[in-house]
Amino acid sequence: MLNTLKAAALIALTAASPALAEWPDRPISLIIGFGPGGQSDLLGRALASVMTEELGVPVNVVNRPGAAGGAALAGLRAMPADGYNIMLNPSQTITLTPALMAQVPFSIDDFAYAGMITSFDIALVAPTSAPFDDYAGMVAYAREHPGILYAALSATTRVFATEIARANDIDIEVLPVDGGPGMINAILGEQALLAYSGGVHHRYPEQMKVIAALTSERNIGSPDVPTINELGLPIGMDMQTVLIAPAGTPEDVIARLEATLAAAAENPGFAEVAESMSAPIQFRTAAEATAEMHRQLAANLAIMQAAGIEPQ
C-alpha cells in the first residue's frame, strides 16, 4: 500500500515538471546480463514494454550474457552516463561478487541505482518426500544421517551449507548442479535432500517444501517459514532486481527511470509476467535502492568474512 502511494506520488511529481522534455529523444537500450529466455530476460522484456509505453521511445532489450551479469556490468560502467544505456540485473552481482573475487571489473560506486522492482524468494528447500519438515527437523535428521546432499549452484550458494553445518556441528555434503534446471532435477529426482533455490521452488509447490528462508526478511511467497536469521544463524543474504545506470547519470533522468519503474510495478502486464516467473514485485525508490545496495554489500562482506571466505 505504501509502495502504491509512493509510486502515485512519484508519477504525480514527474508529470508536474515540464523541464524533463529533452530526455528521452531516442531509443534506449535495456541491457540484460543473461541469455534470452531466462527469468532476468523475460522480466527485462516485460519491463521494456512498460517503459516504451511510459517514455514514448522504443526501449530495446540487449542480451549480454556472461558471469551472472558481470560481463555486462563491466561494459555498462564504461558507457556514457546519458540514460540511454541502462541495465536490469540481480543486485548480488554487485553486492556479493567482491566478497568472492579479488579482481572484479566493476564496483558499487561505478553505477547509479534508479530503483528495485522484484525480489527473490531465496530459500533452503527440500523434496516433499524428505523425512523432515522444518529447520530443526532437518538438523536432527542430518545428525543421525551424516553426509546428506545439498544441491548448490555456485560458490556463494555453497556457503549456506557449510555455515549451517558448522553452526550445528553436522555433516552436509555439497552436490554441485548446473543452474536452476539442474537444481530442479536434483530435488525432483531426490538425488539431493536439500537445495538452494532462488525462488524457482514456487513453481513446484507439490514437489518441494521450504525449510528456511535464506534472506534477512521472510520470503514473500512463504511468509510462515522463518528466516535463517530468526533461526539463530545471521547469514541471510537479500537479492532484488535493480535498475542500473552508469554513475553520473543526471538526477532528472534517474527520477524519470524511477517513476517508470514505479509504473511498471503497478502494471498488470508486468505483474502477470513476474507472477509466472515467481518473482514477487517489491518496488523501491532510487534512494531506497542505493541505500539497500550499500547495506547489502556491507552485510554480505561481513557474512563472508565471518565464514572465513577470502576473495580469490
Partner 1 sequence: MTPILAGFADILNPVTLLWVAAGVAIGYLVGALPGLGKATAVAIAIPLTFALPALPAIAFLIGIAKGSAAGSAVSAILLNVPGEPSSAPTALDGYPLARQGKAGKALKAALYASVLGDLGSTLALVVLAQPIASYALSITPVEICAVLLFSLTFVAGLSAQSLAKGLVAACLGLLAATVGLEIESGLPRLTFGDYRLFDGIPLIPMAIGMLAVGEMILQAGNRAALDQQGASIAKGAHPDDSRMTRDDWRRSAPAIARGTAIGIGVGILPGLGASVGSFLSYGAARARAKEPERFGTGAIEGVAASESADNAVVPASLIPLFALGIPGSVIAAILIGAFMLHGVAPGPLMFAQQPRLVGGIYAAMIAASLALLLIGMTLQGLFAQVVRVPTRRVVPVVLFLCVIGAWLEGGGVFGVQVMLVFAVLGVVFIKLGFSVVNFLIGFVVGRTFELTFRQSIQILGRDPWNLIHHPIALIFLALTAIAVWRFTRGARSTARKSEET
Closer CB to partner 1, 175 or 233, in the complex: 175
Name the residue nearer to partner 1 (CB basis): 49 or 216. Answer: 49
Say how far apart CA 178 and CA 185 lie, in whole Å: 10
Query: Which of 164, 211, 166 has its CA nearest to residue 187?
Result: 211
Sort 101 into a burial class: Cβ within 10 Å, 0-12 / 13-18 / 19+.
middle
Output the smallest distance, CB 13 to partner 1, in A.
30
Q: What is the nearest approach in angstroms of partner 1 to the Cβ of residue 189?
A: 5
Task: Rank residues 38 and 226 by Cβ distance to partner 1 and give the closer one.
Answer: 38
What is the C-alpha to C-alpha distance for residues 120 and 219, in angstroms, rounded to an integer? 8
User: Minimum Å distance from CB 131 to partner 1?
Assistant: 18
Q: How far apart are CA 137 and CA 140, in angstroms?
A: 5
Q: State the minimum distance, in angstroms, from the CB of residue 69 to partner 1.
A: 11
For residues 74 and 81, which CB has a smaller minimum distance to partner 1 in the complex? 74
How many whole angstroms separate alpha carbon 160 and alpha carbon 178? 17
Closest distance to partner 1 from the beta carbon of 181 (Å): 4
Q: Of the two residues 74 and 301, which places its CB atom closer to partner 1 in the complex? A: 74
Minimum distance of partner 1 from residue 196's CB (angstroms): 13
Q: Cα-atom radius of gyration of the chain, to the nearest Å?
A: 20
CB-wise, 38 or 250, nearer to partner 1?
A: 38
Phi, psi of 11, rounded to the nearest 5 degrees: -60, -45
Provide the grid cell at 233. 544463524
**Four-residue CA torsion sign, 68, 72, 77, 80:** negative
Contacts to partner 1 by CB under 8 A: 35-39, 41-42, 45, 49, 64-67, 70-71, 74-75, 100, 103, 105, 147, 149, 154-156, 158, 173-178, 180-182, 184-185, 188-191, 203-204, 206-207, 269, 272-273, 276-277, 312
